[in-house]
Homo-oligomer: A and B are copies of this chain.
């Protein structure tokens, strides 16, 4: 049930973008500096985020990436799905990209006990990730930063 580094990185990046007032565009260069991710790899991640319409880009000298929605309306689940695919542990339990099991193994989805279980797991995961917005994460960030008199900590 692992998260890939892409998913983890993307979440960090979007957190970073969520704390930008403005909004004004942030360049890959700046994002790399702020997160410690290599520029080239970060660039790839940004392309995926853009094709998922989570960010939009502006080209040219003062270009960069901007959230395409306000952090209040952007959930962690969307970002993870854009990077790592469906949240469900098995395709047969996915709500956003459902694929049934091969028929010879699972003759009926309705009657499949395991699918019911994977569905419970999927719902548990989605319950957390789809209900957590980046506004909420930014809020938590401010709380811990304030409490610890804190330096940058992502």
Contact = CB atoms under 8 A, between A and B. Distances in A.
Interface of A: 1-3, 8, 11-12, 15, 36, 76, 80, 84-90, 104-108, 110-114, 116-118, 120-121, 124-125, 127-129, 132, 137, 140-141, 144-145, 148, 150-151, 153-154
A152 to B, nearest CB: 9
| Copies of this chain, tallied across the complex | 2
Given A1-B88, A1-B89, A3-B118, A36 B104 contact: yes
A1 B76 CA distance: 14
A88 B128 CA distance: 13
A116 B128 CA distance: 11
B140 A3 contact: no
Given A117-B137, A124-B127, A124-B128, A150 B111 contact: yes
